[in-house]
Amino acid sequence: MSSTRKKEMLRLVRKTQRAKAFAAAVLMCMALSGCVENYSYIPHEETNAISFSWWGKDKRNEYTLAAVDAFEKKTGISVETHFGEFDGFKKHMDMLFYSDTEADVMQLNYDWLYEYSPDGEGFYDLNELGDYIDLSVFPDGDLECGTINGKLNALPTSFNAITFYYNKKMYERYGLELPESWDDIIKAAEVMKPDGIYPLELSGKSAWLSAAAYYEQSSGNRIYSGSELRLTREGYETMLRFYVGLIEAGVTPDSSSFDRNDLERENCAGVSVWISDAEYYCDPSLEKGLDIVVGDYPQIKGASLFGWYKKPTSLYAIRKDTAHPKESARLLDFLENSKEMNTLQKLGKGIPSSRAALEILEANDLLNGVQFDANEKMKSEQRFEMLSPYIEDSDAVVLFTDTAKKISTGRLTMDEALDQTYEQIKELIGN
């Protein structure tokens, strides 16, 4: 094992130990206050059912519940369901995982996989369940993203990239071409700002990853070398200055004011979100008749690095010590490969990794629309590499965007912001 990998493992183990201690303390407090039942989690030893946890908005929850119902009728296996919105779901997962009460089958974000299983021992090795999960329909490269130390911990649902969606007619209304560079977006703000229109709204995650892309493009330096963090104080300052500059130029409001309805209301002419979120952010605009199209990944002139990365949209894993491995495996296979799940889900989690799922969608004429276009653009871009799971840390995103807001509103100087937050950022996303 390389020294870099050893350092990475040690950092993750320490983080896991801290999380376990925190979760145990929280659970004890909740038990004492009588709030544990709010999670409505039934311990495994008290039921023969398997359990399944995921996050999602109402639409995802509705089709997932319908699919689970179809699975129960088809197999006779009972499934307890546990779900909520993404915001706050990680803390819920921490409490379950570190108190050994997590679900048998669970949806994971990419960075959670490496936090919960830094050595590959945190989840059931799906290679051992090949009689119940059709692994042959997944490309080898897709399986690699869920493999740690040779153990297949999780299966990806699809792949994702931060994507730029624009209201083409609104840009045309202002006499503008769709932007190809950061300079184009800033110039669009100069034209649209008098009317109170943002040319592009960035969510918190988009702001963070856009700033990271700008830093790599402008400096020619990567934030990570392998898994080793290379972000210097000066690099972090570049990221902050870039995002604060976008806010002050009127390109985007700060992320706390990001409103998913602004594209439909035409308060903005574009949004930057994940491919898999197009359904949530773009469909209302398309239903209204707006011409929403997929734009380019912004660059700076002469950039030696692309700056943009892709990642698994989400992954499904099975509890390491599940009492029902076969039943859990059958559910996981159903979620990834079945006709019932895929015709209900459509492109709700992006364009599937599973070839079986793709064939089902193609047969039902469901491989179309702006989300499909975004996925095709990602697939055709050869410069994409895999996103480091550590950079997605939600606490780092919040710290970065909150700090930028304080700078833009004059509550912190840049030097004060760097003094207060750079070491914290390194701790959250570093080795």
pLDDT of residue 24: 44
Tokens of residue 431, six digits: 């080795």
Same topology for domains 3-158+313-337 and 160-310+383-429, yes or no?
A: yes
Which contiguous run of DSSP H or E holds residue 273? strand 270-274
Domain definitions of the chain by residue range: 3-158+313-337, 160-310+383-429
Decide if pLDDT at 31 tops 80.
Answer: no
Q: Which two tokens stand for residue 149?
A: 């130390």
Q: Which amino acid is at 211?
A: A
- Pick from 36-50, 247-261, 286-300: least confident: 36-50
d(CA 304, CA 347): 34
Kind and range of the H or E run holding 327: helix 325-337
pLDDT tier for residue 159 given thresholds of 50, 70 and 90: very high
What is the CATH T-level fold of the domain 3-158+313-337, as seen in this structure? D-Maltodextrin-Binding Protein; domain 2 (3.40.190)
What pLDDT sits at residue 226?
84
103 and 96 in contact (C-beta within 8 Å)? yes
Q: Kindly report, residue by residue over 96-151, the tens digit of the pLDDT.
A: 999 999 999 999 999 999 999 999 999 999 999 999 999 999 998 899 999 999 99
Report the C-alpha gap between 278 and 270 in whole angstroms. 12
Q: Does the domain at residues 160-310+383-429 carry the CATH identifier 3.40.190.10?
A: yes
Find residue 123's DSSP bridge partners.
319
CA distance 75 to 341: 14
Q: Classify burial at 349, counting beta carbons within 10 Å of its beta carbon; exposed 0-12, middle 13-18, buried 19 or more.
A: buried
**Lowest-confidence region among 89-93, 291-295, 322-326:** 89-93
Give dist(CA 99, CA 93) in Å, integer: 10
Euclidean distance between CA atoms 419 and 21, whole angstroms: 28
pLDDT digit string (tens) for 188-225?
999 999 999 999 999 999 999 999 999 999 999 999 99
Residue 140: CB partners within 8 Å, gap ≥ 6?
none
3-class secondary structure, 8: helix
Token pair 């840390």: residue: 393
Query: β-strands 292-294, 201-202: how paired?
Result: unpaired
**In Å, how far are 86, 297, 406, 407 from 402, measured between CA atoms?**
19, 25, 6, 9
Task: Give tens-digit pLDDT for 169-193.
Answer: 999 999 999 999 999 999 999 999 9
- Pairing between strand 50-55 and 105-108? parallel
The residues that bridge with 318 in the sheet, in sequence order, are: 105
CA dist 16 and 117 (Å) reads 9
Q: What φ, ψ does residue 118 adopt, rounded to 5°? A: -65, -25
Instruction: Indicate the angle between helix axes 204-219 and 394-408, nearest 10 degrees.
Output: 80
Confidence (pLDDT) at 227: 84
Question: Residue 196, class by beta-carbon neighbours within 10 Å (0-12 exposed, 13-18 middle, 19+ buried)?
Answer: exposed
Q: How far apart are CA 71 and CA 75, in angstroms?
A: 6
Helix then strand then coil, % of the chain, to nearest 5: 55, 15, 30
The pTM of the full predicted model, rounded to 2 decimals, is 0.85
pLDDT at 280 over 90: no
Per residue in 375-431, pLDDT (tens digit) is 999 999 999 999 999 999 889 999 999 999 999 999 999 999 999 999 999 999 986
C-alpha to C-alpha distance for 243 and 137, rounded to whole angstroms: 41
pLDDT recorded at residue 34: 40
Average pLDDT of every residue of the chain: 89
Calpha distance 176→166 (Å, rounded): 12
Query: Alpha-carbon torsion 317, 111, 228, 142, what sign?
Result: positive
Pair 330, 75: CB distance under 8 Å? yes
In this structure, are residues 104 and 324 in contact, taking their beta carbons and an 8 Å threshold? yes
Q: Is the pLDDT of residue 277 over 60?
A: yes
On whether the CB atoms of residues 231 and 223 are closer than 8 A, the answer is: yes
| Per-residue DSSP letter, 290 | -
Distance of CA 413 to the CA centre of its chain: 31
Which residues in 283-351 belong to E strands, given as ranges? Answer: 292-294, 309-312, 315-318
Q: For Cα atoms 267, 272, 274, give the angle at the middle one, nearest 5 degrees.
A: 135
Q: Which two tokens stand for residue 389?
A: 């799971």
Residue 170 near residue 265 (C-beta atoms within 8 A): no
